[in-house]
């Protein structure tokens, strides 16, 4: 399924050696030489929901990042659910280590979750970017705490925040059901436009402000699309899940996509892609595209019940099979990364903390991180990374009728522990679709990985 081109791998190696050299070439005070960073983080968008990964949905602007930069073929989300995925991305640590054990999605209308979230002292790489001189902004979805000021994005490294704190919104009213949840910093606002457009317009406004800035910027662009919307039921006002594409986007969906659910999802993806095109064009217009590192990734696998697809991978959102965890990731940096590269290096959302700090010239070695700096990881020989360990634990997600899941990948072997099922063992090097359970054939390997998984589960402690 995933071909590995040796020439591309070697090119990626030399390209990232160049990044290492370049990142140390300028003195720390030369802030103008450090790259701007735009991280585009989409919601519930699976492996088969971007055309450069094989989807039937046309996504030319997202695809341009692959054509002009580096495509990851084995990139994993930090979790298969929204909140823990975001915690892992921003802190470089597995969510089971979080103070509030954020292993499942925070629910906006749940009183208990109003006192849970990311706490002071749970350091994000955005904290460090801000402290080192970057201007930092979050535009879009937060979902790491909504009931208390200590959880607010502006207390975790972001100078500004424009967006929503819950897991989703009504794309037309920008409320969570009937409850307002759209902010500029701490103030509730009513942007009066479709959610994807409101996010894009604000991001463009922020970018244009940077055209004459004397310091680099970090833009965290967290779209809620193509996640379902959270509308208010017309009868009793209850918050309900519903796909909410814009009519003009729905009209552009290819006729070959016949299923109504998939068409609605495709429309949201196509609208999202159009917005990303506007972002990339703005970077060119303000003449910062060459030295702006653009990263595109999704928060976890898609939910087929709402039109998403992870095919041909097994499983989806809230599971720990490949379809719930393996996600698209594209990186473009014209000044440093040659066009058209791809890599099979195993990487994860928790790697963003050490990687972005390294690229920005920040020493992050004092922090206890689960992620790895991807720059030397990719520049080393493949054999040096063959024993890479990745660990996931996903808690209950009532809306999807899931219970606790755990999984461990060491090298190519992956142990999956699903509710009410015996442990399953897969060799991803020959079975990336997880069709053949090897637990009965390799009991020693199963025991070894199971012991290690139990060790991680029992030893994981918050900060």
Q: What angle do CA 239, 105, 373 make, to 5 degrees?
A: 140
User: Residue 364's pLDDT is what?
Assistant: 94
* Mean of pLDDT values over 162-174: 97
- Residue 376: predicted pLDDT: 79
Find the Cα–Cα–Cα–Cα dihedral 102, 105, 110, 112, rounded to 10°.
-10
Neighbours of 9 (CB within 10 A): 17
Phi, psi of 33 (to 5 degrees): -85, -15
Angstrom distance (rounded) from CA 175 to CA 119: 25
Predicted local distance difference test score (pLDDT) of residue 237: 87
CA dist 142 and 151 (Å) reads: 10
Residues 217, 212: Cα–Cα separation, whole Å: 12
CATH class of 6-386: alpha beta
In our burial notation (b when 16+ CB lie closer than 10 A, e otherwise), range 262-281 reads bbbbbbbbbbbbbbbbebbe
Pick from 245, 272, 222, 240: nearest CA to 176: 240
Are the CB atoms for 307 and 261 separated by under 8 Å? yes
| Mean pLDDT, range 342-362, rounded to an integer | 95
**Confidence (pLDDT) at 4:** 38
Lowest-confidence region among 153-162, 185-194, 206-215, 301-310:
206-215
Range 121-133 average pLDDT: 97
8 Å CB contact between 211 and 289: no
User: Quick one: tokens of 369?
Assistant: 């991180």
What would the mean pLDDT of 327-353 be, rounded to a whole number?
94
> How far is C-alpha 160 from the chain's CA centre?
20
Query: What 3 state SS string does 92-103 have?
Result: CCCHHHCCCCCC
pLDDT band at 16 (very low <50, low <70, confident <90, very high): low
Q: Indicate the pLDDT class of residue 375, thresholds 50, 70 and 90.
A: confident
Q: How do the domains of the chain map onto residue ranges?
A: 6-386
* Distance (Å, whole) CA 408 – CA 170: 36
What is the rounded distance in angstroms from the CA atom of residue 152 to the CA atom of residue 142? 9
CA-closest candidate to residue 139, choices 150, 122, 126: 126
Omega within 30 of 0 (cis) for the link into 167: no
Please state the pTM of the whole predicted model: 0.92
Residue 445: pLDDT band (50, 70, 90) is: very high
What is the model's pLDDT at position 438? 97
pLDDT at residue 362 is higher than 60:
yes
Two tokens, residue 435: 């069709």
Phi first, then psi, for residue 407 (nearest 5°) are: -150, 150
pLDDT at 71: 95
Angle between helices 60-67 and 260-285 (to 10 degrees): 50
State pLDDT tens for residues 221-252: 999 999 999 999 988 889 999 999 999 999 99
pLDDT grade for 387, boundaries at 50, 70 and 90 = confident
Interval 393-402: pLDDT, tens: 998 766 665 6
Banded model confidence at residue 17, pLDDT cuts 50, 70, 90:
very low
Q: What are phi and psi of 307, to 5 degrees?
A: 95, -5
DSSP labels, 41-87: EESS--TTSSGGGT-SS--HHHHHHHHTSEEESSEE-S-SSHHHHHH
Residue with token string 């084995």: 74
Q: Using the predicted structure, report yes or no on whether residue 97 has a pLDDT greater than 90.
A: yes
Q: State whether residue 382 is helix, strand or coil.
A: helix
Task: Please write the tens of the pLDDT for every residue from 406-424.
Answer: 999 999 999 999 988 999 9
Crossing angle for the helix pair 352-359 and 6-25, to the nearest 10 degrees: 50
Angle at 17 between CA 349 and CA 364, to 5 degrees: 45
Residue 294 has pLDDT above 80, yes or no: yes
Q: pLDDT at residue 29 above 50? A: no
Is the model's pLDDT at 381 over the cut of 70? no
Q: Exposure pattern of 168-178 as b/e (b: 16+ CB <10 Å)?
A: bbbbebbbbbe
Structure tokens at 209: 């402000």
Which range, of 17-21, 213-217, 384-388, averages the lowest pLDDT?
A: 17-21
Handedness of CA 445, 448, 454, 458 (dihedral sign): negative
Tell me the mean pLDDT in the region 33-45.
96
2 vs 75: CA distance, rounded Å: 12
Q: What percent of the chain has pLDDT over 90?
A: 81
The predicted pLDDT at position 311 comes to 97
Compute the mean pLDDT over every residue in the chain, rounded to the nearest whole number.
Answer: 90
Residue 386: pLDDT over 70: no
Please count the other Cβ atoms lying within 10 Å of the Cβ belonging to residue 60: 14
What are the tens digits of pLDDT across the range 175-209?
Answer: 999 999 999 999 999 999 999 999 999 999 999 99
């Amino acid at each position: 399924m995933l071909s590995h081109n040796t020439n591309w791998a070697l090119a990626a190696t030399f390209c990232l050696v160049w990044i290492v050299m370049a990142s140390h070439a300028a003195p720390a005070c030369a802030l103008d030489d450090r790259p701007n960073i735009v991280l585009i983080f989409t919601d519930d968008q699976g492996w088969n929901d971007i055309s450069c990964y094989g989807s039937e949905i046309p996504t030319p602007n997202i695809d341009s990042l692959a054509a002009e930069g580096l495509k990851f073929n084995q990139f994993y989300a930090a979790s298969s659910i929204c909140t823990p995925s975001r915690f892992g991305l921003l802190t470089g640590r597995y969510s089971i280590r979080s103070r509030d054990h954020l292993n499942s999605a925070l629910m906006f209308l749940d009183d208990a979750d109003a006192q849970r979230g990311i706490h002071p002292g749970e350091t994000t790489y955005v904290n460090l970017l801000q402290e080192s001189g970057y201007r930092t902004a979050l535009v879009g979805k937060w979902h790491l705490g909504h009931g208390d000021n200590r959880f607010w994005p502006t207390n975790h490294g972001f100078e500004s925040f424009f967006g929503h704190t819950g897991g989703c919104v009504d794309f037309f009213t920008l409320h969570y059901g009937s409850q307002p949840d759209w902010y500029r910093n701490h103030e509730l606002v009513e942007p009066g436009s479709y959610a994807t457009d409101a996010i894009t317009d604000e991001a463009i406004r922020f970018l244009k402000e940077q055209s004459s800035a004397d310091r680099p910027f970090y833009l965290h662009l967290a779209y809620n699309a193509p996640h379902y919307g959270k509308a208010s039921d017309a009868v009793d006002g209850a918050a309900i899940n519903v796909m909410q594409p814009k009519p003009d986007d729905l009209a552009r969906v290819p006729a070959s996509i016949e299923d109504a659910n998939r068409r609605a999802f495709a429309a949201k993806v196509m609208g999202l892609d159009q917005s990303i095109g506007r972002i990339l064009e703005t970077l060119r217009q303000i003449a910062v595209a060459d030295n702006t590192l653009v990263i595109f990734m999704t928060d976890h696998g898609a939910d087929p019940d709402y039109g998403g697809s992870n095919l041909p991978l097994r499983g989806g959102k809230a599971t720990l099979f490949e379809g719930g965890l393996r996600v698209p990731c594209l990186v473009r940096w014209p000044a440093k990364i040659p066009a058209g590269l791809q890599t099979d290096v195993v990487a994860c959302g928790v790697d963003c903390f050490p990687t972005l700090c390294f690229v920005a010239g920040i020493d992050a070695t004092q922090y206890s991180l689960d992620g790895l700096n991807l720059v030397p990881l990719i520049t080393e020989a493949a054999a040096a990374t063959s024993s890479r360990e990745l660990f996931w634990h996903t808690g209950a997600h009532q809306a999807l009728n899931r219970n606790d899941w755990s999984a461990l990948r060491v090298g190519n072997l992956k142990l999956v522990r699903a509710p009410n099922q015996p442990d399953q063992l897969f060799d991803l090097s020959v079975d990336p679709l997880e069709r053949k359970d090897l637990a009965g054939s390799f009991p020693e390997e199963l025991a070894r990985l199971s012991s290690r998984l139990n060790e991680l589960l029992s030893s994981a402690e918050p900060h």
